Amino acid sequence: MSNPNLRMSLSCPMPKLDFDIITLGHGSGGLLTNQLLDKVILDVLQNPILDKRHDGAFLEMNGPMAFTTDSFVISPIFFPGGNIGDLAIHGTVNDLAMSGATPQYISLAFIIEEGLNMEELWEILHSIKHATQQAGVKVVTGDTKVVERGKGDKIFINTSGIGAIHPKAKIDATRIQKGDKVILSGPIATHGIAIMSQREGLQFGTSLTSDSQPLNAATLALIEEFDEHIKFFRDPTRGGVASSLNEVASSQKIGIDLKGHKIPMLDEVRGGCELLGLDPLYVANEGVFIAIVAGSKGEEVEDFLKNIDGFEQASLVGEVVEEHPSQVILHSGIGGKRVVHMLVGEQLPRIC
């Protein structure tokens, strides 16, 4: 394959098939659909629940749980550091994690444009498998539809997810109050700039890759350690950190003060944002979360996170204030300040 981001899993060669592209017949519900399921999709993702192949997966849940959904339409489908498959797993795992839940079960629904190369689907499926193993979740039910050429764009993926709420979790934005601290789990804007650089054909000094990753190990460790002191999680995907903080500020009528010089960012990302004229606060992230925690625990949470592998750049970036309710204000290191609004318009379409 000419696409450098398509890293075929050579350890798992694709079985010999009668077809090398997806056709409308693969969405018919008939013989071809069943061949695609038996020889490819279910074979890669197999587990006892999925193998039953009923219309619905049978699960056992007891107590409070979270339920979430996201569709993924990212373009290009293969990008530096990942593809639409692992992104779709990370995205839904992370939405569950942000709810204070342990991600457990995932549904997987494909809308495929006629003509998709089977090798691309194979690679996507293996990335999905790897991502589910990494996050400790199972794909338990699914669906495959096919649309005509020109009526889709290679592949769209919907993942919905279910997970039990951690017994110690008290994630509830209404509990946020004056003095609470805002923590970023790592450098921002990496995903968006990695995708944009690929689209625009930009070359950076080093190879910038998406930060797409599961966040559940870190959020559950925080809940385990700090229980009710953790009040709010959000992964700032579309719309970036600015939009996520504006959402919580306006829904809870709180003010948020941000210290600009504390916001972590990779040098290549900073350079990319300057080159592209983008404000990193609005650029999408896929492997970062915002935590709002009790004021007394801010520095402890920051230090705890920094000691988790992959979160060394976690940073306490701001505070909840009584002044300017519903507004987010960014303070620069040299005394200036500006209001950070919610994203207006669209900056980077199809970033996830």
Smallest distance, a copy of itself to C-beta of residue 298, A: 22
Smallest distance, a copy of itself to C-beta of residue 200, A: 16
283, 347 Cβ separation under 8 angstroms: yes
Q: Alpha-carbon torsion 340, 258, 233, 84, what sign?
A: positive
158 interacts with a copy of itself by CB under 8 A: yes
Q: Phi, psi (5° rounding) for residue 139?
A: -80, 120
Map residue 160 onto helix, strand or coil: strand
151 interacts with a copy of itself by CB under 8 A: yes
CA dist 308 and 265 (Å) reads 18
Smallest distance, a copy of itself to C-beta of residue 36, A: 12
Smallest distance, a copy of itself to C-beta of residue 127, A: 19
Applying CB under 8 A, the span of 25-33, 79-87, 116-124, 323-331 interacting with a copy of itself comes to 25-33
Indicate the residue among 9 and 34 with the shorter CB distance to a copy of itself.
34
89, 137 Cβ separation under 8 angstroms: yes
Smallest distance, a copy of itself to C-beta of residue 52, A: 9
Stretch 81-110 residues interacting with a copy of itself (CB under 8 A): 95-96, 98-99, 101, 105, 107-110
Q: Binding string, 305-344, against a copy of itself, x = CB under 8 A?
A: ------------------------------------xxxx
CA dist 247 and 238 (Å) reads 12
204 interacts with a copy of itself by CB under 8 A: no
240, 165 Cβ separation under 8 angstroms: no
Residues 6+ apart with CB under 8 A from 343: 239, 240, 242, 243, 282
Smallest distance, a copy of itself to C-beta of residue 159, A: 9
Judged by CB under 8 A, the residue of 121, 249, 284, 314 near a copy of itself is 284
349 interacts with a copy of itself by CB under 8 A: yes
Smallest distance, a copy of itself to C-beta of residue 10, A: 31
Smallest distance, a copy of itself to C-beta of residue 153, A: 4
CA 139 to centroid of chain Cα atoms: 17
4 interacts with a copy of itself by CB under 8 A: no
CA dist 192 and 196 (Å) reads 6
54 interacts with a copy of itself by CB under 8 A: yes
10 interacts with a copy of itself by CB under 8 A: no
Q: How many residues bind a copy of itself (CB under 8 A)?
A: 85
68 interacts with a copy of itself by CB under 8 A: yes
CA angle 251, 215, 212 (to 5 degrees): 100
Determine which helix (DSSP H) or strand (DSSP E) holds 144, and give its type and residue range: strand 138-147
CA dist 83 and 4 (Å) reads 12
Judged by CB under 8 A, the residue of 3, 12, 47, 143 near a copy of itself is 143
Q: Binding string, 243-272, against a copy of itself, x = CB under 8 A?
A: x---x---x---------------------
Smallest distance, a copy of itself to C-beta of residue 236, A: 9
173 interacts with a copy of itself by CB under 8 A: yes
Concatenated DSSP letters for 270-328? Answer: HHHHHHHT--GGGS--SS--EEEE-GGGHHHHHHHHHTSTT-TT-EEEEEEESSSTT-E
Measured from the Cβ of residue 33, the count of other Cβ atoms closer than 10 Å reads 17
43 interacts with a copy of itself by CB under 8 A: no
